């Protein structure tokens, strides 16, 4: 395919509409969740009290549910659907209808859960740990969100299958392949959370059963909870591997390496949930350690990704005549928001990933578990690396889908937004890491802990978090302003959906990478290996279950 | 595969192997593994079940103490523990209602305390001072008020 036809290849308007529907919800979620986040940092500074009887934990639940579960899922579903449409061809009517039904199911579920949170019937945080018991409609809402996401997933799987049938013996387009891997991971992972919600929490909140097994519920949640973070990360990796090389004018370092790293994520991001439960009773220390080892293996594909990206940058810079060890850095398009914003995200993933290794290191987790260090960690990973990349994607994808263009003025504003984010997050996440090491807990309203000297040391860091949080909120306002401009007001025109080509086109990706019986088989084996015995142990040695509590 | 790529992958694997070996050696050979006690209890009969029918601190050896403690919204029983500097303290913990966290600032004490489960964790207190004990898992509207102290004299 020549670069000219590649350039004008557009997402079909019907698929664009589907994508935009997802993005509207995602960006409304960003506003609500970001507002909640700002208020939380203000409360924790000790200088501000919430008005109108709003509870801190009600706000925290809203922040977590709306950003971690709703905003991300909508953005990812929308992005993956249009990426498949762009690279594997326009969706069939059946695929598109399936995705639309999924969208509406998710939206009904989101509204139900949000209403329950606003009515203060579900201040259980986004992890909804039993035996805190939310209103049944909160659980029904979450179930609908997951069920809807399965329909969106089905549309992607159907599109992939159709493409493979029409192109026998050919490796699928790279973006479609990646979207499929992330979709498969999501489906396998959400079985865990769907199980605990449908079979444990929902019947219990309706009063059909009196008691719930707390440890089983937490284990099913974290079976989902860790692949959830990779579900956020992989779309960012799609942009880093495939889109960013095209934006800078370079090539994808290696198509096969990119596919291989995605397969490794599929294999190793699920059987690792115990590293979120390292401090818990009831799970054998040896099985915890086994999952820690599997967690370490999932570091490999991220390190492969880092190599691949910087190899792309260096190769491109040298092709422009750059010399010296770091001369190639000068050749990169620093003035292009579509490159700069994801690049800031990539940089933040270096400390973010290193912090993740600390958290996963078994006994070292004892130093940081449930301290605000952890909050600092995932605000570098999901709330910077991932979300900045999503913003970077939006700055070309929204105008591509709406038939508009990113103007120079908007590009400048986008760069300002990215820089503000980096500054705000340095304050907020940096102060969270530092306070966490001193022992400050996460998920707590402002407290002086009876005047304890140790707690007094945390307060300056909490003020720094509020400063960072305020800067971040200004950045969010800018994002929303740019989003509205690109969706409704930017000048009409053609904005490219950049899809990179591999440096070595002659090298065909090995077809074994598309052998899903093989990979899903290994996924099932690894999950069975990591979970079967400790899970049976939890059930066989289960205590009498817990009744529900509403303590807010 | 490029030479640079091979070097990078070799270093990556090497680094991760080293992390695994150190962590595994500390956890499994030196016994530094995270708290993973496996006894269970009826969460509604904590007060009637030994040892939690008599929560408190007990000297069990020279410089060695056992603390039997219940966690419930939004307090610890017993509160305000005192031990001499250099003491090793074995904590036996359970929850009477929802999930709580047991954390002592400036120490490595950090454990989830779940209803139905008994959790154990041990710590040697060398430095005198007043240590803040707090709940680090959200447990309801008064969560941020759930704290006490351990005084090391």
Residue B114 is nearest to which of A280, A439, A446, comparing CB atoms?
A: A280
* d(CA A130, nearest CA chain B) in Å: 7
Min distance B121 CA to chain A CA atoms (Å):
10
Residues 6+ apart with CB under 8 A from A324: none
- Does the pLDDT at position B5 exceed 90? no
pLDDT at A503: 86
pLDDT digits (tens, 9 = 90+) for A161-191: 999 999 999 999 999 999 999 999 999 999 9
User: A284 and B138 in contact by Cβ < 8 A?
Assistant: no
B94 phi, psi to nearest 5 deg: -150, 165
A519, A180 in Cβ contact below 8 A? Answer: no
Q: Is the pLDDT at A549 greater than 50, yes or no?
A: yes
Instruction: Name the residue of chain B whose CA is nearest to A441's CA.
Output: B136
Q: Which residue has the tokens 């929204």?
A: A398
What percent of chain B stands above pLDDT 90?
A: 91
Q: Say what the pTM is.
A: 0.96
Taking the Cβ of residue A442 and every Cβ of chain B, the question of whether any pair is shorter than 8 Å is answered with yes
Q: Please enumerate in sequence order all residues whose Cβ is within 8 A of that of A501, keeping only pairs 6 or more positions apart, or say none.
A: A246, A251, A252
Instruction: Give the number of beta-carbon pairs within 8 Å between A and B.
Output: 213
Asked whether the beta carbons of A171 and A513 are under 8 A apart, the reply is: yes
State the average pLDDT over residues B35-56.
96
Give the per-residue pLDDT at A386: 98
Angle, CA A366 vertex, CA A362 and CA A369 arms, to 5° = 105
What is the largest distance, in Å, between two alpha-carbon atoms of chain B?
Answer: 68
CB contact under 8 A, A286 and B28: yes
pLDDT band of residue A4 (cuts 50, 70, 90) is very low
- Per-residue pLDDT of A255-289, as tens digits, reads 999 999 999 999 999 999 999 999 999 999 999 99
Task: Give the confidence band of B20 by pLDDT, cuts at 50, 70, 90.
Answer: very high
Tokens at residue A511, please?
């077809």
Q: In the predicted model, what is the mean pLDDT of residues A210-234?
A: 97
If you measure CA to CA, which chain B residue comes closest to A277?
Answer: B112
- If you measure CA to CA, which chain B residue comes closest to A298? B16
* A51, burial (CB in 10 Å: exposed 0-12, middle 13-18, buried 19+): exposed
Asked if CATH classification 1.10.357.10 holds for the domain at A8-547, the reply, yes or no, is: no
Tell me the backbone φ, ψ of residue A404, rounded to 5 degrees: -125, -175
CB contact A284 to B (< 8 Å) = yes
The pLDDT of residue B60: 96
Cα–Cα distances (Å) from B6 to A222, A237, A296, B11, in that order, read: 34, 21, 19, 9
Give percent of chain A with pLDDT exceeding 70. 99
Rounded distance, CA A196 to CA A188, Å? Answer: 14
How many helices (H) and strands (E) in chain B? 1, 10
A293 Cβ contact list (under 8 Å, min separation 6): B20, B24
Please state the ipTM of this predicted complex: 0.95
* 3-state secondary structure (DSSP) of residue A104: helix
How far apart are alpha carbons B111 and A484 in whole angstroms? 46
Active site amino acids of A? 226, 230, 377-379, 442-443
Q: pLDDT (tens digit, 9 = 90+) per residue, A53-89?
A: 899 999 999 999 999 999 999 999 999 999 999 999 9
Instruction: Give pLDDT, residue A1.
Output: 38
The domains of chain A are located at 8-547
- The pLDDT of A454-470, averaged and rounded, is 96
pLDDT band at residue A2 under the 50/70/90 scheme: very low
Chain B contact set for A272 (CB, 8 A): none
Contact A285 B116 (CB under 8 A): no
The model's pLDDT over B85-121, given as tens digits with 9 standing for 90+, comes to: 999 999 999 999 999 999 999 999 999 999 999 999 9
| Residue matched to tokens 């506003």 | A31
Asked if A177 and A239 count as a contact pair (C-beta separation under 8 A), the reply is no
Residue B65 has pLDDT above 70, yes or no: yes
CB nearest to A279's CB, from B24, B43, B112: B112
Of B20, B27, B99, the CB nearest to A129: B99
Q: Which of A280, A358, A461 to mutate to test the interface with B (most CBs of B within 10 A)?
A: A280
Q: Do B116 and A545 touch (CB under 8 A)?
A: yes
Distance CA B81, CA A524 (A): 49
Mean pLDDT of B133-147: 97
For residue A475, pLDDT over 60 is answered with yes
The pLDDT score that the predictor gives to residue A152 is 97
- C-alpha distance from B60 to closest chain A C-alpha (Å): 24
The whole-angstrom separation of Cα A387 and Cα A373 is 19
CB A369 to CB B23 under 8 A?
Answer: no
The answer on pLDDT for A3 being more than 70 is no
Q: Binning pLDDT at 50, 70 and 90, where does residue A8 land?
A: low
The pLDDT, as a whole number, for residue A509 is 86
C-beta atoms of A303 and B5 within 8 A: no
Residue B10's pLDDT is 92
pLDDT, position B31: 87
Interface mutation vs chain A, best among B8, B27, B29, B34, most A CBs within 10 Å: B34
CA–CA–CA angle A487, A492, A498 (5° rounding): 75
Closest CA–CA distance from residue A235 to any residue of chain B (Å)? 23
Classify A114 as helix, strand or coil: helix
Cα distances from A416 to residues A56, A396, A458, A477, in angstroms, run: 31, 16, 31, 12
Residues B33, A288: C-beta atoms closer than 8 Å? yes
Distance from CA of B77 to the nearest CA of A (A): 17
Question: How many CB atoms sit inside 10 A of residue A263's CB?
Answer: 20
Cα dihedral A130, A136, A142, A143 sign:
positive
Taken as a whole, chain A contains a residue count of 552
Q: Do A129 and B40 touch (CB under 8 A)?
A: no
d(CA A55, CA A66): 16
**Are A543 and B13 a contacting pair at CB < 8 A?**
no
Residue A504: the pLDDT is: 78
A502: tokens are 């591999």
Separation between Cα atoms, residue A112 and residue A284, nearest integer Å: 38
Rounded-to-integer distance, Cα A436 and Cα A459, Å: 12
């Amino acid at each position: 395919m020549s670069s000219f036809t590649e350039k004008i290849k557009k997402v079909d308007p019907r698929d664009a509409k589907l994508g935009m529907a997802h993005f509207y919800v995602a960006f409304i979620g960003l506003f609500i969740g970001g507002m909640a986040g700002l208020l939380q940092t203000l409360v924790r500074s000790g200088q501000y009290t919430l008005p109108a009887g709003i509870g801190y934990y009600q706000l925290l639940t809203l922040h977590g549910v709306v950003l971690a579960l709703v905003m991300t899922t909508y953005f990812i579903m929308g992005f993956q659907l249009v990426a498949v449409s762009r690279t594997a061809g326009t969706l069939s009517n059946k695929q598109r209808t399936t995705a639309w039904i999924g969208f509406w199911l998710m939206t009904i579920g989101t509204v139900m859960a949000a209403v329950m949170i606003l009515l203060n019937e579900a201040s259980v945080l986004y992890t909804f740990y039993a035996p805190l018991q939310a209103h049944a409609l909160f659980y029904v809402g979450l179930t609908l969100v997951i069920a809807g996401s399965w329909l969106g997933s089905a549309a992607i799987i159907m599109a992939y299958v159709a493409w493979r049938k029409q192109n026998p013996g050919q490796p699928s387009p790279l973006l479609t392949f990646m979207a499929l891997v992330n979709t498969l991971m999501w489906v396998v992972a959400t079985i865990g959370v769907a199980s605990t919600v449908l079979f444990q929490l929902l019947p219990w909140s309706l009063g059909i059963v009196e008691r719930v097994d707390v440890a089983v519920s937490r284990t099913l949640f974290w079976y989902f909870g860790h692949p959830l973070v990779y579900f956020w990360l992989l779309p960012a990796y799609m942009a880093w591997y495939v889109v960013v090389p095209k934006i800078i004018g370079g090539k994808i370092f290696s198509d096969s390496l990119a596919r291989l790293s995605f397969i490794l994520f599929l294999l190793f991001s699920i059987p690792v949930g115990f590293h979120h439960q390292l401090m818990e009773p009831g799970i054998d220390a040896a099985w915890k350690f086994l999952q820690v080892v599997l967690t370490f293996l999932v570091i490999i594909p991220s390190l492969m990704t880092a190599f691949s990206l910087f190899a792309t940058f260096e190769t491109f810079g040298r092709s422009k005549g750059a010399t010296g060890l770091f001369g190639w850095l000068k050749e990169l398009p620093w003035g292009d928001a579509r490159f700069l914003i994801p690049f800031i995200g990539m940089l933040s993933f270096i400390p973010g990933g290193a912090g993740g290794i600390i958290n996963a290191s078994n006994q070292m987790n004892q130093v940081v578990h449930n301290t605000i260090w952890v909050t600092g960690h995932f605000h570098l990973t999901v709330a910077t690396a991932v979300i900045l990349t999503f913003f970077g994607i939006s700055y070309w994808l929204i105008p591509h889908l709406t038939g508009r263009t990113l103007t120079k003025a908007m590009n400048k504003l986008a760069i300002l937004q990215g820089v503000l984010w980096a500054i705000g997050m340095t304050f907020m996440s940096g102060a969270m890491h530092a306070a966490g090491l001193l022992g400050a807990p996460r998920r707590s309203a402002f407290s002086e802990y009876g005047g304890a000297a140790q707690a007094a040391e945390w307060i300056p860091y909490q003020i720094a978090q509020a400063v960072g949080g305020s800067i971040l909120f200004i950045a969010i306002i800018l994002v929303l302003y740019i989003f509205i401009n690109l969706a409704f007001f930017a000048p009409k025109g053609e904005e490219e959906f950049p899809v990179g080509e591999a440096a070595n086109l002659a090298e065909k990706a090995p077809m074994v990478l598309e052998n899903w019986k093989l990979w899903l088989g290994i996924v099932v084996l690894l999950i069975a290996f990591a979970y079967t015995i400790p899970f049976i142990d939890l059930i066989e040695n289960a205590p009498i279950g817990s009744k529900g509590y509403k303590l807010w | 595969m490029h030479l640079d790529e091979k070097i990078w992958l070799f270093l990556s694997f090497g680094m991760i192997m080293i992390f695994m070996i150190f962590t595994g050696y500390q956890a499994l050979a030196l016994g530094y593994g995270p708290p993973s006690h496996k006894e269970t209890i009826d969460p509604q009969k904590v007060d009637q079940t030994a040892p939690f029918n008599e929560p408190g601190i007990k000297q069990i050896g020279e410089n060695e103490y056992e603390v039997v403690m219940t966690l419930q919204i939004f307090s610890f029983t017993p509160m305000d523990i005192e031990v001499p500097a250099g003491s090793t303290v074995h904590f036996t913990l359970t929850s009477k209602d929802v999930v709580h966290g047991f954390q002592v600032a400036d120490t490595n004490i950090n454990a989830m305390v779940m209803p139905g489960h008994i959790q154990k964790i041990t710590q040697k207190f060398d430095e005198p001072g007043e240590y803040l004990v707090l709940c680090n898992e959200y447990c309801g509207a008064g969560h941020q008020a759930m704290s006490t102290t351990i005084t090391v004299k």
